[in-house]
């Protein structure tokens, strides 16, 4: 969930160019309220389809903060097992602590240049797709790396 359009564009580009083995279905939100609606449409209501396999969450979202979005995710029975990586320009220890206390699975400082962003995206794919086993969207079993 990224509210800054230029950052969202660069993130989309990084996922498209550096993660060729995985077909990512990305959902970008302009604010925290939009993020909650996107997540609701993709998993909190059974008839709306499967939940996301991974959430990359901007901590400093307008309207509804990243912390509030994280809290909504982790208190939802359908979404609490979805890994959430907080992606933030903040270096504040309180933000990092709050993210982990809210059960974020990681806190990633936003890179300042495109090559560093590409490296972060590649590392996300390597770890969250090729290394760990996630629950599948429907059955609760492991997810296939090509299904994220």
Per-domain residue ranges of the chain: 5-147
Helix 66-75 vs helix 32-39: crossing angle, to nearest 10: 20
Residues 125/19, Cβ–Cβ less than 8 Å: yes
In order, the DSSP letters of 22-90 are S-------SSHHHHHHHHIIIIISGGG-PPPS-EEEESS-SSS-HHHHHHHHHH-TTTTTS-EEEEES-
CATH homologous superfamily of 5-147: Response regulator (3.40.50.2300)
The one-digit pLDDT tens for each residue of the chain (148 residues) are 555 677 778 888 888 776 666 677 777 888 899 989 888 775 444 445 677 888 999 999 999 999 999 999 999 988 999 999 999 988 899 999 999 999 999 999 999 888 999 999 989 988 988 898 887 655 444 444 433 3
3-class DSSP state for residue 10? Answer: helix
């Amino acid at each position: 969930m990224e509210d800054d359009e230029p950052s969202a564009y660069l993130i989309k580009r990084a996922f498209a160019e550096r993660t060729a083995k995985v077909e990512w279905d990305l959902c970008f939100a302009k604010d925290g309220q939009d993020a909650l609606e996107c997540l609701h449409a993709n998993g909190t209501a059974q008839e709306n389809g499967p939940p996301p396999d991974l959430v990359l969450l901007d901590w400093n979202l307008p309207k509804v903060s990243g912390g509030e979005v994280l809290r909504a995710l982790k208190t939802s029975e359908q979404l609490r097992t979805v890994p959430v990586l907080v992606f933030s320009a903040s270096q504040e220890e309180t933000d990092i602590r709050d993210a982990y206390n809210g059960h974020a699975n990681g806190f990633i400082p936003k890179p300042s240049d495109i090559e560093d962003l590409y490296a972060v995206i590649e590392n996300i794919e390597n770890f969250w797709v090729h290394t760990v086993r996630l629950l599948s969207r429907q059955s609760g079993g492991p997810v296939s790396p090509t299904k994220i």
